[in-house]
Amino acid sequence: MPLTVGTAGHIDHGKTWLVHALTGKDTDRLPEEKRRGISIDLGYAPLELPDGRRLSLVDVPGHERFVRTMIAGATGIDLFLLVIDAAEGARPQTLEHLAIIRLLGLRHGVVAVTKADAVDDETLELALEEAHELVPEAQAVAVSAKTGLGLDELRAALATAADEVTPVHVAGPTRLFVDRVFTLRGIGTVATGTLWSGSVADGDELVAEPRGLPVRVRSVQVHDRSVERAEAGQRVAVALPGIERTQLRRGDAVVEPGGYPASYRLDVALEELLSVRDGERVQVHHGTAELPAVVRRIGERHAQLRLGTPAVAARGDHVVLRTETTLAGGTVLDPAPPRHASEERILRVESGDVAATIFAPVRLSSLRHILDGEPEGLERAGDWLFSAEWLDELRGRLDARLDTADPLDPGIPVPADPWTAEIVPLLGLERKGAKLYRPGATGSLGNRAAAAAELESQLGLEPVKVDDPKLALFLEQHGRLVRVGDGLAVSADAFEQARGVLLEELDDGGRITLARFRDRLGIGRKAAQLILERFDADGVTRRIGDERVLRRSSRTQPR
Ligand SMILES: Nc1nc2c(ncn2[C@@H]2O[C@H](COP(=O)(O)OP(=O)(O)OP(=O)(O)O)[C@@H](O)[C@H]2O)c(=O)[nH]1
Ligand SMILES: [Mg+2]
């Protein structure tokens, strides 16, 4: 399993020199870094261990103004290499970096007490003692980048620490946190970063989150060497020829499609160095991203982070909360929680009882970052997971609406939800068009029977106004009237009588005028017009000027 080691420590304490002494690579490559003699950005170098293992080394800046950059470097590491100047001892950023390392959940590493060549034995002894007190869990080694003293011992100590570490970034879909983006002539956009999980190979179709930009990987390198496939924990560079350099930046995550939610909220367990107020505005450091956020406290130990830009997080990820100083750390419990956080829910999620938090349908594929496999005790339809209680509630809700549906057409609209296609079939209802019915349900007049009888008694050839359009439709569907014009109707018998007259007149290519039709039926002009228009609408006749002719196909076609 490839591992990444990150330096930490106060400005000028000798981190970059030590990295150079260990790897032969000067990671201060920016002109400004050269000029000022300090590190500004992250540096990367491969480190060979005596046993042949290869670690990735990340060198971070120590300046207090660059703590943010230090965190971006430290979030992807498995081991720390805390560097303390033997003459100066622990200073403010020694302590802040150490605190950040602990908030990030890093438990394994080594302390290098450096510049050993520049102090006397007694001072060195005291510095080693102080280092041991400060980080009791780690081995402290005296080294000099200048003379090479202690470097072998340091490599051996790193190898021992590497043996003890359980790599964090293994399981789960591919996720690469971008720390650098540049353009190479003939290759296009290249992004580098630590592969937190999964693997990446030439031809992979991934998505650059949080913007959801589809990308296709062209070639993959690990520490400047081409590889077929890079594995979790490795430091990789991928060519992404399809996109512009400006479309990607530090903090973005290149991930497997659907592997992670891009979420404006994170529910976390807090670890406070300083107390964090409800409503406090902070910067949330996650992966290589820095996200503005407001903290909503939940109970004693938890919070919901409301983010200004979305995070691409998974359960178990560590975040650091800062203002001008480091305030707290957080372990992500739910990377895409509902807005209304409750302590009860968050405690359940924390205990791993994810199933208990699911009520309404959620996609199983969207839960891959908080679950292994399928949770127990839930209902499943296609990709949807939901609780039996929710399904009962839905059934109850639809039942209530079916009970009060219009008896003429006792259906209700099919719910227009993303889960409709998979879940509605479970309800045992009949779907006709856009409506749901109880099995075998047919329309009935119900308490409109009297109104129907009253209406029918008035119907004849002269159109009658019908006030209840649903009733008119129902009666027409049952062959008891024919609707003409807007909100009017004639009796079904009268309409058939009119059809008889019409067909007789139009037999053998004949034509009929409105006046002739009116006279043959002995009705008013308006009534004749409405009835003819209905024949037109039904496709029986076609109007040509003042006359009507039979449509070609309609002689054999019933209405
Ligand atoms: N005598 C002696 N001097 C050293 C040694 N290592 C570093 N230095 C001196 O310390 C200075 C700073 O070292 P860097 O390695 O750049 O310090 P750094 O911790 O990377 O500093 P930032 O990245 O800015 O935080 C160097 O310019 C050297 O002059 C060492 O082993 N012995
Ligand atoms: Mg440096």
Phi, psi of 298 (to 5 degrees): -125, 110
Peptide bond into 50 cis (omega under 30): no
State if residue 42 touches ligand 1 by the CB under 6 angstroms criterion: no
Query: In the block, which residue shows the tokens 């006792």?
Result: 410
H or E stretch including 270? strand 262-272
Distance 141 CA to ligand 2 centre (A): 19
- Over residues 462-483, the mean pLDDT reads 92
State if residue 37 touches ligand 1 by the CB under 6 angstroms criterion: yes
Distance 115 CA to ligand 2 centre (A): 14
Strand locations in 336-393, DSSP E? 362-363, 379-381, 384-386
Locate the ligand 1 atom nearest the alpha carbon of residue 66 and give its number. Answer: 25
Looking at residue 373, its pLDDT comes to 65
Distance 39 CA to ligand 2 centre (A): 4
CA–CA dist 432, 157 (Å, integer) = 72
pLDDT digits (tens, 9 = 90+) for 506-554: 987 789 999 999 999 999 999 999 999 999 999 999 999 889 999 876 5
Q: Is the dihedral of CA 493, 497, 500, 502 positive or negative?
A: negative
Question: If DSSP codes are grouped into helix, strand and coil, which group holds residue 20?
Answer: helix
Q: What is the DSSP letter of 174?
A: -
Locate the ligand 1 atom nearest the alpha carbon of residue 118 and give its number. Answer: 1
pLDDT digits (tens, 9 = 90+) for 349-374: 888 777 777 778 888 876 766 666 66
Distance 114 CA to ligand 1 centre (A): 9
Looking at residue 559, its pLDDT comes to 45
Instruction: State both tokens at 99.
Output: 């605190």
Q: Does pTM top 0.85 for this prediction? A: no
Q: Which of 173-177, 422-426, 503-507 comes out lowest in average pLDDT?
A: 503-507
Which ligand lies nearest the alpha carbon of 148? Answer: 1
288-313 CB burial, b ≥16 within 10 A, e <16: bbbbebbbbbbeeebbbbbbeebbbb
Mean pLDDT of the chain: 91
State if residue 114 touches ligand 1 by the CB under 6 angstroms criterion: yes
Burial-class residue 424 by CB neighbours within 10 Å (0-12, 13-18, 19+). middle
Phi, psi of 549 (to 5 degrees): -125, 165
Looking at residue 555, its pLDDT comes to 53
pLDDT digits (tens, 9 = 90+) for 68-120: 999 999 998 999 999 999 999 999 999 999 999 999 999 999 999 999 999 99
Q: 35: pLDDT confidence band, cut at 50, 70 and 90?
A: very high
Query: In the block, which residue shows the tokens 């100590």?
Result: 157
